[in-house]
């Protein structure tokens, strides 16, 4: 990125001295490069020397070891941290104790945008929640693009916020998927539209408590146009003022909902049919829920947005990988890749879309409990295939809440052979009308490089054993 901008009076005061950027990953490098292009003095800190050296080269900034930065905190005017750095990291705790402001890269980008550093401020539409963020954000960006706006999905998908606000081709509407980590490090970020999809136990190890995690997510409800998932009891606890919302039920005034199989907009008191839910991607309740949220956010910002525009965007939307894709089909049996279901809440939505399931699950539960999930879906479980570090926790819960359901457990820790074993067994349990569903309810890093690799190996293995791939 090339810029001719000079340091100007409208830069935030915290950028007047040397800025410490912690973390030499993608977000750290991105914000360091942005600040360097604004002629801000930057040091990037990371204990990984290789990553630090690469970041110094890419961003054209100097580097420092975190221990040295800790010893020299008086040098810095603020600390911009990458979202992966936990609040209890010694460097960040010491910085706050010394009176330095610690903020995230997204928060800093918001302040730069609001200060008109890169032209007139943009419209910020922020989507968060435990599950469904990526699909909802992508749907919303598609709706806004179909409506004629220069809109892009940014944040955790698409391009980084730093890239988006400084792009040569101006992006007017930032449709941002933000995590609880990014929101934790945001103190002034108030989007124009804020969407809170749902809340369930996740990332407790990072935040320290469920209350802290939920409070970070709920920050988006401070938006002047706040949209809440009204069917989620925990979300309702954080709705302190009247907000617009979405529901799987017929909508009241101020809501978008479903009536007789059709998404209906009633945000402004005049019900309008938007689009039938049949045929939307991803199929099932989770996909409908995301479409409702995206519709509500778009209509909240643009009340006269035509139903045909929304319908066209939603009907042409294709689900991103590992979020409910049908990856194989043969003999009346379908195989569904929902590797993105990395916690019980996401697995709940994935399982709810099928009547008879051979469930492929397991991985890192990260302290989450699965009893409620399994008790709720026991009636649809035909068989269960388990792998991963917390496989036996899930097995014990299945035995308790779904007694008699066949269970296969592999102790294999090789990613490919373990997946092959569970898929081979799952296919032997399936018959016409069944769905083999990968919805792990757990994270993947105990065995896989990420949920993507887990999903790819599932698709390859189940297709080979089932003898049929999904139609394109």
76 and 130 co-located in one domain: no
**At 44, which CATH number?**
3.40.50.720
Residue 5 lies inside a defined structural domain of this protein: no
Q: Could you say which of 274, 295, 315 is where a domain stops?
A: 315
Whether 378 and 446 map to the same domain: the answer is yes
Q: Which of 289, 315, 341 is the last residue of a domain?
A: 315
Q: Collapsing DSSP states into helix, strand and coil, what is residue 60? A: coil
Residue 160 vs residues 12, 23, 34, 149, 361: alpha-carbon distances, Å:
20, 15, 11, 19, 32
Of 333, 294, 341, 297, which is closest to residue 317 (Cα–Cα)?
A: 294
DSSP secondary structure, 407-424, as one string: EEE-----HHHHHHHHHH
Q: pLDDT value at position 282?
A: 85
**pLDDT tens digit string along 76-88?**
999 999 888 889 9
What are phi and psi for residue 409, nearest 5 degrees? Answer: -125, 125
Q: How confident is the model at residue 134 (pLDDT cuts 50, 70, 90)?
A: confident
Is residue 405 assigned to a domain?
yes
User: Helices in 353-469 by DSSP H: which ranges?
Assistant: 371-377, 391-401, 415-429, 451-466
Report pLDDT digits (tens) over 309-353.
999 999 999 877 787 888 999 999 999 999 989 988 889 888 987
* Mean pLDDT rounded to a whole number for the chain: 92
What's the pTM? 0.76
Do 395 and 417 sit in the same domain of this protein? yes
Same domain, 141 and 94: no
- 184 φψ region: left (φ > 0), alpha (ψ -120 to 50), beta (else): alpha
Neighbours of 463 (CB within 10 A): 18
Rounded mean pLDDT, 94-99? 96
The answer to whether residue 1 sits within a structural domain is no
User: Helix %, strand %, coil % for the chain, to 5?
Assistant: 40, 20, 40
DSSP 379: G
- What tokens were used for 19? 């800025």
Instruction: Please check whether residue 4 lies inside any domain of the structure.
Output: no
Judging by beta carbons within 10 Å of its beta carbon (0-12, 13-18, 19+), is residue 76 exposed, middle or buried? buried
Of 72, 100, 128, the residue at which a domain comes to its end is 100
Give the structural domain span for 283: 110-315
Decide if 174 is inside a domain.
Answer: yes
> Parallel, antiparallel, or unpaired: how do β-strands 262-266 and 255-259 relate?
antiparallel
Q: Is 9 within a domain? A: no
pLDDT over threshold 50, residue 218: yes
Element (H, E) at 125: strand 123-128
Give yes or no: residues 163 and 257 share one domain: yes
The whole-number pLDDT of residue 252 equals: 97
Q: Tell me if residue 400 falls in helix, strand or coil.
A: helix
Q: Which of 226, 22, 5, 1 is nearest to 112 (CA)?
A: 5
Three-state SS for 462?
Answer: helix
Buried b or exposed e, range 392-420, using 16+ CB within 10 angstroms: ebbbebbeebbeebebbbbeeeebeebbb
Sign of CA dihedral 153, 158, 161, 163: negative
- Residue 380 gets which letter from DSSP? G
User: Where residue 224 sits, what CATH number does that domain have?
Assistant: 3.40.1190.10
Question: What number is the average pLDDT over the span 178-186?
Answer: 93
- 114 with 242, same domain: the answer is yes
Give one DSSP letter per residue of 313-348, joined into a string: HHHT--PPTTSSEEEEEETTEEEEE-TT--SHHHHH
Note the pLDDT of residue 3.
39
pLDDT by residue (tens digit) across 388-399?
Answer: 999 999 999 999
Specify if 471 maps to a domain.
Answer: no
Residue 7 lies in a domain: no
Kindly give the residue spans of alpha helices, DSSP state H, lying in 263-329.
285-301, 307-315
Q: What is the pLDDT of residue 156?
A: 81
Check whether 415 has a pLDDT greater than 90.
Answer: yes
Our count of domains for the chain comes to 3
Pair (304, 450) in one structural domain: no
Mark whether 364 and 299 lie in a shared domain: no
- Res 468: pLDDT: 67
Q: Are residues 396 and 336 in the same domain?
A: yes
CATH of the domain at 363: 3.90.190.20
Closest CA to 439 of 337, 335, 325: 337
User: Same domain for 155 and 88?
Assistant: no
Does 124 share its domain with 91? no
Predicted confidence (pLDDT) per residue in 46-86, tens digit: 999 988 998 899 889 999 999 999 999 999 999 999 888 88
What Å distances lie between residue 239 and 53, 215, 298, 300, CA to CA?
45, 11, 20, 17
**Do both 448 and 407 map to the same domain?**
yes
SS3 state at 40? coil
């Amino acid at each position: 990125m090339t810029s001719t901008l000079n340091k100007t009076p409208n830069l935030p005061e915290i950028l007047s001295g040397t800025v410490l950027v912690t973390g030499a990953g993608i977000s750290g490098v991105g914000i360091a490069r942005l600040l360097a292009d604004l002629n801000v003095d930057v040091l990037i800190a990371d204990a990984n020397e290789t990553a630090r050296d690469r970041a110094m080269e890419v961003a054209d900034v100097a580097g420092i070891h975190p221990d040295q930065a800790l010893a020299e905190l008086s040098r810095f005017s603020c600390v911009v941290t990458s979202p992966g750095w936990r609040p209890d990291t010694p460097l960040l705790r010491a910085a706050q104790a010394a009176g330095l402001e610690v903020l995230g890269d997204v928060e800093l980008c918001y302040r730069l945008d609001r200060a008109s550093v890169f032209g007139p401020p943009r419209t910020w539409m922020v989507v968060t929640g435990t599950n469904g963020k990526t699909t909802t954000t992508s749907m919303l960006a598609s709706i806004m693009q179909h409506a004629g706006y220069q809109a892009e999905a940014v944040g955790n998908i698409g391009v980084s916020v730093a890239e988006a606000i400084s792009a040569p081709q101006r992006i007017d509407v930032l449709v941002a998927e933000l995590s609880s980590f990014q929101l934790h490090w945001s103190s002034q970020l108030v989007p124009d539209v804020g969407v809170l999809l749902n809340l369930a136990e996740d990332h407790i190890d990072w935040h320290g408590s469920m209350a802290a995690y939920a409070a970070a997510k709920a920050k988006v409800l401070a938006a002047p146009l706040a949209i809440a998932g009204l069917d989620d009891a925990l979300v309702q606890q954080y709705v302190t003022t009247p907000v617009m919302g979405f529901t799987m039920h017929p909508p009241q005034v101020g809501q978008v909902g479903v009536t007789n199989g059709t998404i209906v907009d009633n945000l402004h008191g005049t019900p309008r049919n938007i689009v039938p839910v049949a045929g939307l991607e991803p199929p099932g309740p989770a996909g409908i829920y995301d479409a409702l949220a995206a519709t509500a956010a778009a209509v909240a910002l643009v009340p006269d947005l035509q139903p045909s525009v929304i319908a066209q965007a939603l009907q042409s939307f294709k689900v991103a990988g590992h979020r409910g894709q049908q990856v194989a089909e043969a003999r009346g049996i379908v195989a569904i890749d929902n590797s993105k279901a990395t916690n019980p809440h996401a697995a709940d939505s994935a399982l709810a879309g099928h009547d008879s399931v051979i469930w492929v699950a397991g991985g890192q539960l990260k302290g989450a409990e699965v009893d409620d999930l399994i008790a709720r879906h026991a009636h649809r479980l035909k068989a269960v295939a388990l792998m991963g570090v917390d496989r036996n926790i899930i097995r014990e819960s299945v035995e308790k809440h779904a007694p008699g359901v066949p269970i296969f457990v592999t102790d294999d820790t090789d990613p490919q052979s373990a997946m092959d074993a569970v898929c081979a067994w799952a296919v032997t349990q399936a018959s016409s009308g069944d769905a083999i569903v990968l919805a792990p309810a757990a994270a993947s890093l105990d065995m896989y490089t990420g949920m993507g690799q887990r999903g790819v190996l599932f698709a390859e293995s189940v297709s080979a054993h089932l003898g049929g791939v999904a139609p394109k």
